[in-house]
Amino acid sequence: MQSPDSGCGLRAFDRAESCRDADRLRSKREAPVLHRGLALTLALCAAPAAAQEVDVDVELVFATDGSGSIDDEELRLQREGYAKALADPRVQQAIRGGITGRIAVAFVEWGGADSQHVIVDWTVIDGADSAAAFGAALAAAPRRATGWNSISNAIGLSVRLIEGNDHQGLRKVIDISADAGQRGGRPLPEVRAEALAAGITINGLAVLSRSGRPGWGGGSLEDFFRAQVIGGPGAFVITADADARFTEAVVRKLVLEIAERPADAAPMPPG
């Protein structure tokens, strides 16, 4: 037999449970709102920080052909061409004309599937002095690449360099040169797709060396670059001889990349 106040006790207990249930339901409803508010606050706080991280206009990897078909004289001309091009007044003007007035560059030479080498690590170019220092380091470095033409593995290394550096650029570009088509290494379409998915543009420089070969299937090397190598917003390919005219081709290419001009733009004034 229940005591006279047992019903009141049960009713009080039920009311307490009902209150707790209501509190739990209210908490569940409010939690997403609180979470969304917190996420918005964090995003607003993070946005200025992300903007402040941008320190260069372009993160640019020169991935140059150092395979066995490039002889020592051609290799010297290639390195000299890039060094002179960075110091060229037209390129310096393009750099100064950017939002930050700075670019970050790294120089890679590559050959076979197991022969990709960083010759000069990431360097900020913001004027004639930094360009000269980069050129001096490039000229002093020994030759390291050997073997065939693994364009795919060269792109793969370049992607890792861009994703792993300490810079935050408005654009990310791989500038790859080769005197022949792909041979060895990872499948080229796969690596190319990874680069494009990472927001990296791939531009090409088809080098007409003494021992180089056209693209596979009898087409021109430039056609091979267009079909299988380059990609991304505004991507383009330029053909250059591996001789004294190489520098002028690199100057034109750099101005296009830094200033983000279309490849069919009007000719630049001479330096």
CATH of the domain at 215: 3.40.50.410
Q: What is the pLDDT of residues 61-75, one digit of tens each?
A: 999 999 998 999 989
Cβ atoms 57, 171 nearer than 8 A: yes
3-class state of residue 168 by DSSP: coil
> 202 — phi, psi (to 5°)?
-115, 115
Give domain status of residue 271, yes or no: no
Poorest-confidence range of 37-46, 139-148, 253-262?
A: 37-46
pLDDT at res. 211:
53
Mean pLDDT for the chain? 81
Give domain status of residue 265, yes or no: no
The angle subtended at Cα 158 by Cα 157 and Cα 159, nearest 5°, is: 90
Instruction: Tell me the two tokens of residue 84.
Output: 């002179």
> Is residue 29 located within the same domain as residue 144?
no
> Is residue 108 located within the same domain as residue 178?
yes
Give domain status of residue 113, yes or no: yes
Distance CA 31, CA 11 (A): 30
Cβ atoms 102, 124 nearer than 8 A: yes
> Is residue 8 located within the same domain as residue 103?
no
> Is residue 30 located within the same domain as residue 66?
no
pLDDT at res. 268:
40
Give domain status of residue 268, yes or no: no
Q: Are strands 169-178 and 56-65 parallel, antiparallel or unpaired?
A: parallel
> Is residue 3 located within the same domain as residue 61?
no
> Is residue 239 located within the same domain as residue 154?
yes
> Is residue 72 located within the same domain as residue 26?
no
Packing angle, helices 128-140 and 89-96, rounded to 10: 120
> Is residue 14 located within the same domain as residue 39?
yes
pLDDT tier for residue 266 given thresholds of 50, 70 and 90: very low
Give domain status of residue 267, yes or no: no
Residue 96 CA, chain-centre distance (Å), reads 20
Give domain status of residue 66, yes or no: yes
pLDDT at res. 209:
64
pLDDT at res. 165:
98
> Is residue 124 located within the same domain as residue 192?
yes
By residue count, the chain amounts to 271
Give domain status of residue 270, yes or no: no
DSSP-derived letter for residue 216 is G
The per-residue DSSP string of 44-67 comes to HHHHHHHHHH--EEEEEEEEEE-S
CA distances for 125 relative to 80, 120, 239, angstroms: 17, 13, 25
Poorest-confidence range of 21-25, 42-46, 154-158?
A: 42-46
Give domain status of residue 269, yes or no: no
The pTM of this model reads 0.77
> Is residue 209 located within the same domain as residue 99?
yes
Q: Are strands 103-110 and 116-125 parallel, antiparallel or unpaired?
A: antiparallel
> Is residue 32 located within the same domain as residue 109?
no
Of the CA atoms within 13 Å of residue 23, those in its CB half-sphere come to 6
Q: Please give the tally of structural domains in the chain.
A: 2
pLDDT at res. 260:
75
Tell which residue, 79, 73, 127, has the closest CA to residue 100: 127
Q: What is the pLDDT of residues 187-227, one digit of tens each?
A: 999 999 999 999 999 999 999 865 555 555 557 899 999 99
> Is residue 14 located within the same domain as residue 120?
no
Q: What is the pLDDT of residues 110-162, one digit of tens each?
A: 999 999 999 999 999 999 999 999 999 999 999 999 999 999 999 999 999 99
Last residue of a domain, one of 53, 69, 92: 53
Residue-range definition of the domain harbouring residue 148: 55-259
Determine whether 150 is exposed, middle or buried from the number of CB atoms within 10 Å of its CB (0-12, 13-18, 19+): buried
Distance CA 16, CA 243 (A): 89
Distance CA 171, CA 88 (A): 21
